Each structure stands twice: as structure tokens, then as C-alpha cells.
Amino acid sequence: MNHLGTKQLKTERLLLRPLAMEDAEAMFDNWASDPDVTEYLTWPAHQSMDVTRLTLRHWTSQYVKNDFYQWAIVPHGTEGPIGTISVVAHDNSVDMVHIGYCMGKPWWGKGYMTESLSRLIKFFFEEVGVNRIESKYDVRNASSGKVMEKCGLLYEGTTRGSDVNNQGICDSALYGMIRSDYYNT
């Protein structure tokens, strides 16, 4: 892998860019404070702007690392982000990135996350040179799985009682795509 860090990326309707401290209010209001958004995530809804600011301070300090990937999802024509998409884990020994994402409820069902993940798939295979992209979801959150399927990730199996999130221990469905899948489709 040739790590490139969180580069600004564009799609037809979106700008994917590094987060900034100025995004705190939009982050808090648009998704981070909403328990419906965080229902199947591993971090709880933010109870105050202070939590959001601390999170952003940590993330923005990590942008100096070329293997740190955390994007704000910003629709064209708006100023603030509506969610994030990021590499939550990577393994250089197999050139793999694991993608996680979340988005505010008002933007669910509009195809923004599918558009974001599709753009990252292109970026990671064509520019970073990964061998594998994977993601997983709590099986009770089928909408997340639909995003993965629409982007061409293949279902690889469900592991029972293998993960934990705000709902407790859960079954987790794993999806993945390898370099040959990407270039042969």
C-alpha cells in the first residue's frame, strides 16, 4: 500500500474532505448527538459539544499521518458535513482497509453513503493500491449492508456473537472486495 492520507475527493454530488474544528456544530447537530444514528455504532451519542470538540481535536491531530483516513461527507451546495466515512482499521501485512461510516438521519435513503463508499473503493484500489477493502455491520442494521452490496462488496459470512456496539454483543455480517474483484467487474 502507498498510504496517501485523507485527500480531498469529489463525486457527482459530494465533497469528501478532512474534518476541521469548525465542523463541530454541524457534526453535533447533524449526526453525533442522535441516538438513532449511533444505535449500531461503537461510540455513544455525544451528550455535549465538548465531546464533539474533543473527538474532532483528536481526529484533526491525526491528519499528519499518511495512514489516517477520516472524511467529512459534504453535499455540494452546503457548508457543513452530514456524516463521516473512515478507515477504522488497516492491516499492512495484507494491504487491507476496513471502512466504517455514519450519517445524519435527514440524509438517509438518498444514496449519499453509497456514493461516498464507491468513491473510496476507487481511491483505495486505484491510488493507495490496497489488496482488500472490507466492512461489517450488525445484522439488525440491514440498511448498512445494502450500502455495501450496492458498492459491489461481496457477502463473506456472518459471525455470531462476534462484535459489540451500543446494543451489546451482536452478530456481525462481513463484506469484502479484493483487487481482482475490482478490476474484473
Measured between alpha carbons, how far is 116 from 15 in angstroms, rounded to an integer?
Answer: 9
Is the pTM higher than 0.85?
Answer: yes
With respect to residue 140, please indicate whether it lies within any of the assigned structural domains. Answer: no
**Dihedral angle sign, alpha carbons of residues 25, 38, 115, 19:** positive
Q: What residue numbers bound the domain in which 105 lies?
A: 9-131
As a dihedral over the C-alpha atoms of residue 173, residue 32, residue 23, residue 88, rounded to 10 degrees, the angle is -30
Question: What percentage of the chain carries pLDDT values higher than 90?
Answer: 97
With respect to residue 33, please indicate whether it lies within any of the assigned structural domains. Answer: yes
With respect to residue 97, please indicate whether it lies within any of the assigned structural domains. Answer: yes
Q: Which three cell numbers stand for residue 157?
A: 459470512
Q: What is the total count of domains within the chain? A: 1
pLDDT tier at 99, thresholds 50, 70, 90: very high
With respect to residue 84, please indicate whether it lies within any of the assigned structural domains. Answer: yes
pLDDT in tens, 133-163: 999 999 999 999 999 999 999 999 999 999 9
With respect to residue 4, please indicate whether it lies within any of the assigned structural domains. Answer: no
pLDDT tier at 32, thresholds 50, 70, 90: very high
pLDDT tier at 181, thresholds 50, 70, 90: very high
With respect to residue 170, please indicate whether it lies within any of the assigned structural domains. Answer: no
- Predicted confidence at residue 79, as pLDDT, reads 80
- Predicted confidence at residue 92, as pLDDT, reads 96
Whole-angstrom Cα Rg for the chain = 16
pLDDT tier at 170, thresholds 50, 70, 90: very high
DSSP-assigned beta bridge partners for residue 97: 90, 133
pLDDT in tens, 50-98: 999 999 999 999 999 999 999 999 999 988 999 999 999 999 999 999 9
With respect to residue 86, please indicate whether it lies within any of the assigned structural domains. Answer: yes
Mean pLDDT in residue range 22-41: 96
- Predicted confidence at residue 22, as pLDDT, reads 97
- Predicted confidence at residue 12, as pLDDT, reads 96
Average pLDDT, the chain: 96
Q: What is the CATH number of the domain that holds 71?
A: 3.40.630.30
